[in-house]
Structure 1
């Protein structure tokens, strides 16, 4: 007879169910497939090599393309296009509207189509938009290209995070998400170096340095998008680089981690509605907002901030390199610790507090060296928190379509706040930008408050499940036939309850 799972052990940092013996059994995926010859550790390394390097490279290009306008600005972009500082800020702002609008529908398409087709297509077209950005001659042309760039870039970041969550256990996802996102920090460092190098082409073909930055980076993206069709793998149940036995092991280990939908899930509108009605989606949006607006403010204006501290264009770009290198290290370190120790919420709160300290110094400081030091502290409240928040939200949503929509909504709402970041570092506030730093600090405080609230509510919900307040009536389990359980649903088997309710199932434990 199947039994309801025992409460998670205190030593389990992820809050998941303690042992396989205590969890209810589900129908074995591909029961006729012999998996005895598959080495699980070697299989994970094989998956890592097939997925992470190329996807990280694609995100490096993505982040480079969207933020290179900050580097290009230092090479007479505004003067050559005859645009004002206000118009420049509008070109930054418009990107975030199209970027946010298309994230949710893109994730639904990704689930229904093959990742190798959808992601490659998006990348190819945003590369074209990036290239054309270097051919514009006025403000309206730049605005149009920035809108289209946001439209096609929208699907990559939420899509890849969702896609990776379909391959790894909850306790493995954080490090992979951190490595993937660390490409943004590498792009920040690489972007400064690349812009400094490309600037030497000023005047070639009658094009200024800023135009060549857009053109060459855009062409690289077009090429990468074209070859991605043959490099990007599809979902685990159809991935061609794995054998049937290896695909079976991947699905079974995910199901053992309470990812019940890993074997496949048919689209139903109710999954979308479940994501929309889940309080975790909405609160996760606020948590992510608290670090995502600071991310774009930081990446778009770091060269200008350093420039105003007394460094000219090329040195200012070069001085961004060690900042981003530090951000990369701290991001991957937090991802590793979160997977190893759990407690993603506590890590969020701690690093957001560090970031807040950095921005307090930036607001108060009138010393260039001290402000440059504070920038390093500021990265702690931005880069590691981005990937940790995505992992935290993903860990607490079950159901393939529900998770795809929840993640897209969280990331989309964070990105729409990027529009705010584009308008807070005004030219008239330089060199110390008190308004910009103050508003970023406000967002970080919002992130701290929302993280604490999210953590406490998850702990409260886990406690309710430990007390049996969420138990369902399971027809083949007489010990669950309590009238008080009727309100939580009636199901023939535990497996049916798991598939219907996802993370609302009484045996599911949330990651804190």
Structure 2
């Protein structure tokens, strides 16, 4: 065991073993925050940040997947496209959606979240409404590309935004609550589609057109409201007093989020993300659940439909599946924050997913297949917020974290372009090929989670031995080496190196 890292000398250790900032490192040390009630303040932050984000993501997921519901009410036949053309239309959505995510996160960090998130939402609401006017294949392709472009930044933007407000032991539950709206959207979309389809013929439009139009108009209205409701980053949020803003920033910095007080954009931070091994392994983890997520959400009604249930029955039978997924997602988010061990949770959930899809592959019973989709939703949906929190907690530097999350989420979503094509009409009703491909995706996520945890543990051990100690001018540390950098102070090392700083410890 090496001697303590020199960069630890300027910090004190709290009772729980975490680092606390010394007085000279405090953000805005002239501000007195001794009267702040932390629990009360955190409840206020929760109420101002999380509920509205949950509503926005519900609409995001609802709009994205509504084409699967519309298909059950004659959408495909009315615009004259075949199964291959429908699958291509699902596929083209993912290319702009995935490629624009890292860029969008950088823009979000440089602009106000209230402006960027609201603007994106307004534009995709317009595109969603125009889906109700589609008359041919060309129009469908054009609108799906535009929808992918304008929806791209919402999910990674919200994840990054939440990571800018909460400590590492608080993120899991908050991400789970916001992401659980995806499961609510899955359940609600079936009920909503079944209800809206009754408007068939009103205004001379078929029921599927009204599904798109009404959902799109709702998105537009809430996008306008969002401009005033969405809060900005902690150091500028208007609902906080000056003392409360300082308190929030200090507690984040105390949790090794050194950039919480603001960070000037440098291309260097983007390169640090792209050259970090964690970014690329995280992409494999996200691949392991995002591919299955889109296959599940886009085709669950069709899969149930092909098991012998009619369109409305298929939509309604999807409701309890998503309700269970919502419940379990929140429970896992709570447990991840409370007991830690996110990598063990990942392995357990992905293991359940492997079992679920093995059963789906061999099943020839509608009842057994329906039971298996409950196992599948138990694996796919709760894994996402757990993995998001795990990755975000191990990347420091606001711009670096925004790029890493954008890259990982973008690559994961790009796999939706693959899984949008795996449930072929020729494979009805058991879809063995589609289930086999999803099984392979889950296995990749499982393997990458193991690799990610192993590397984090190895790197923590190297830092404990002093192998990553940088040279700090004025501090005598025989273990410090020039290859780890030379800095005028520990603060300078923290800000420049982020999670590469020798005092930073990764969480498992």
SS at match of 1:241: coil
- After the TM superposition, which parts of structure 1 deviate over 4 Å for at least 4 consecutive aligned residues? 23-26
The answer as to 2:502 corresponding to 1:510 is no
The answer as to 2:11 corresponding to 1:5 is no
Q: Distance in 2 between matches of 1:220 and 1:345?
A: 38
Tell me the equivalent position of 2:379: 381
Match of 1:490 among 475, 486, 489: 486
Within 5 Å, which residues of 2 pair with 1:305-324?
Answer: 305-324=303-322
Q: Distance in 1 between matches of 2:174 and 2:29?
A: 29
Tell me the equivalent position of 1:350: 348
Q: 1:275, CA displacement in angstroms?
A: 0.4
- Measured at CA, do residues 368 and 349 of structure 1 come closer, stay the same or move farther in structure 2, by a change above 3 Å? same
| 1:327–1:384 CA contact under 8 A, matched in 2 | yes
SS at match of 2:169: helix
Q: 1:19, CA displacement in angstroms?
A: 3.7
CA deviations 1:110-144 (Å, max 9, x no partner) are: 01111000100000010000000110101110111
Tell me the equivalent position of 1:52: 50
SS at match of 2:256: coil
SS at match of 1:381: helix
Q: Unmatched 5+ residue regions in structure 1?
A: none
| 2:6–2:469 CA contact under 8 A, matched in 1 | no
Aligned length: 501
Tell me the equivalent position of 1:222: 220
Q: 1:452, CA displacement in angstroms?
A: 0.4
Q: Distance in 2 between matches of 1:326 and 1:26?
A: 49
The answer as to 2:235 corresponding to 1:240 is no
Q: Distance in 2 between matches of 1:113 and 1:26?
A: 30
Q: Distance in 1 between matches of 2:24 and 2:339?
A: 28
Within 5 Å, which residues of 2 pair with 1:107-126?
Answer: 107-126=105-124
Tell me the equivalent position of 1:67: 65
| 1:465–1:471 CA contact under 8 A, matched in 2 | yes
Q: 1:488, CA displacement in angstroms?
A: 1.0
Q: 1:30, CA displacement in angstroms?
A: 1.7
| 1:129–1:149 CA contact under 8 A, matched in 2 | yes
Match of 1:287 among 282, 285, 288: 285
Q: 1:205, CA displacement in angstroms?
A: 0.7
Q: Distance in 2 between matches of 1:344 and 1:368?
A: 34
SS at match of 1:171: coil
Within 5 Å, which residues of 2 pair with 1:408-487?
Answer: 408-478=406-476, 480-482=477-479, 485-487=481-483
Tell me the equivalent position of 2:339: 341
CA deviations 1:220-249 (Å, max 9, x no partner) are: 000010110000000111100000011010
- Measured at CA, do residues 189 and 26 of structure 1 come closer, stay the same or move farther in structure 2, by a change above 3 Å? farther
Q: 1:476, CA displacement in angstroms?
A: 2.6
| 2:343–2:453 CA contact under 8 A, matched in 1 | yes
| 1:475–1:481 CA contact under 8 A, matched in 2 | no
Q: Distance in 2 between matches of 1:486 and 1:147?
A: 49
Tell me the equivalent position of 1:391: 389
CA RMSD of aligned residues (A): 1.6
Q: Unmatched 5+ residue regions in structure 2?
A: none
Q: Distance in 2 between matches of 1:133 and 1:253?
A: 46
| 2:360–2:369 CA contact under 8 A, matched in 1 | yes
Q: 1:200, CA displacement in angstroms?
A: 0.4
SS at match of 1:468: coil
Q: Distance in 1 between matches of 2:145 and 2:18?
A: 50
Q: 1:481, CA displacement in angstroms?
A: 4.2
Q: Distance in 2 between matches of 1:264 and 1:455?
A: 29
The answer as to 2:144 corresponding to 1:141 is no
Q: 1:382, CA displacement in angstroms?
A: 0.7
Moved more, 427-436 or 379-388: 379-388
